[in-house]
Structure 1
């Protein structure tokens, strides 16, 4: 296994991908520079393995592993994700074993199906189908009150299931975060320096775990409050937005490699 000078871990939507167009053209110069130095670029997203595999191939990043389903699992390099992995099947089985009154208010992607996910999330039929091909976690809508949600989460916790609330969905998994997976991947490359880029609160753990974290501007998102690492320079903010900001923050790292 080669030993790169650093590894790049990056969020997608609003970070490497433009918020509106989902394009990454402004980041191409930095991506090409990283490729010339054989520096791994690890995509880290809530997207499923099939979604990441397709995007990773279009971006020319299939030689590297990826973090999928918000850190619930990994997608190995050069590998398409299996549909309905064993962890996902076990999650669904645990759901069905819950008392009916606890289970009823939760409508997971497995309950909604591709048509329901397309309608709720505004995805294309193809995109919704890939979002439903899950291996590690189950997002869903909660239609009950806060008290019944707490009881639902507690019952799942007794069965080893973690529930994390996102902007719209309550996501169930057997644990694992983007930050957990960063260490796992870094160990494959003899633990070089880790660089992370993200734009939203759910990227905070990843940014703070990295040796150097970059907060990418995204005027459309919730944004991140000032973080302790900013006072020491461990975390920095871009002045540009999305993939332009991504390029802005990576280029100086590449210049340092050229100079040395």
Structure 2
């Protein structure tokens, strides 16, 4: 691939997309400038490939890869989302090898189905159906004790599966991360200057790995703790929330690079 001056890696919900309306309209000026300059924008989200593929096309970013399922996989440029994946089947098989009393304490998306996902997440039925089309990872709700959860995760680790806790869900995967996929994608472009934008703790590794990171304000959650790089200005906080803050941060980068 030709080497661009910049690579932009961005979270979606609460960052490029408004937390409540899911609109990206306020980011339109910066997005248009990036597209005009040929700067790749890499979406990086907990969303599935089925959720990201139409959104990526709507944003005019289908020519670039996207990081899906919180870093558990990559949606390749121009690709439509597959309906099933071998990694997900292997993950479900590993999950079912856990001792039954522990397994029963975890209800994953693959156990509940689209209607349960809609109830658990507040997503509309159509969106919940897309969230159910998993390829690499399994979010779920843990209902046991902390001691049982420790045993549960240990049993999964013995099979190469790791767990990561979010606001409500415990997500299982074979250990890939946003930051790891970010490095893999950057290598495809001969590792240009990397900018990352995010608003939540699961963006931390990506922000800290970037040459320049921006924490976008999210009034719906507690502020992120101080990150490695803030003292030197390598990571900066943007006071405006969602796509408005995203637009401010990216326009700053565009000006700095003379784009």
Q: TM-score range by the shorter chain?
A: over 0.9
SS at match of 2:33: helix
Shift of 1:257: 3.6
Partner of 2:184: 184
Report the counterpart of residue 140 of structure 2 in structure 1. 140
Partner-residue secondary structure (3-state), 1:191: coil
Q: CA deviation at 1:227?
A: 2.1
Instruction: For 2:119 and 2:141, locate their aligned partners in 1 and report how far apart those are by CA, in whole Å.
Output: 13
1:196 match: 196
- Residue ranges of structure 2 left out of the alignment (5+ in a row): none
Number of equivalences: 259
CA RMSD of aligned residues (A): 1.0
4+ residue segments displaced more than 4 Å: none
Cα deviation, residue 228, structure 1 = 3.2
Equivalent residues in 2 for 1:59-70 (5 A)?
A: 59-70=59-70
Per the alignment, residue 110 of structure 1 pairs with: 110
Determine whether 1:162 maps to 2:165: no
Q: Mean alpha-carbon deviation: is it higher for 144-153 or for 216-225?
A: 216-225
- Tell me which residue corresponds to 2:245: 245
Structure 2 counterpart SS, 1:171: strand
Q: Is the 8 A contact 1:15 1:198 kept in 2?
A: yes
SS in 1 for 2:149: helix
Do 1:201 and 1:223's aligned partners in 2 also have CA atoms closer than 8 Å? Answer: no
* Aligned residue number for residue 7 of structure 2: 7
The answer (yes or no) to whether the contact 1:201–1:222 under 8 Å persists in 2 is no
| Distance in 2 (alpha carbons) for counterparts of 1:98 and 1:213 | 39
Partner of 1:12, secondary structure, is coil
Q: Residue by residue, what CA displacement relative to the aligned partner does 1:84-132 show, whole Å, maximum 9, x if unpaired? A: 2100001111112222112111110010000110111111111111101
Q: 221-230 vs 97-106, which deviates more?
A: 221-230
Question: Structure 2 matches for 1:1-260, cutoff 5 A?
Answer: 1-258=1-258
TM-score (norm 1): 0.97
Give, in angstroms, the shift of residue 258 of structure 1: 3.5
Mapped contact 1:30–1:250 kept (Cα < 8 A): yes
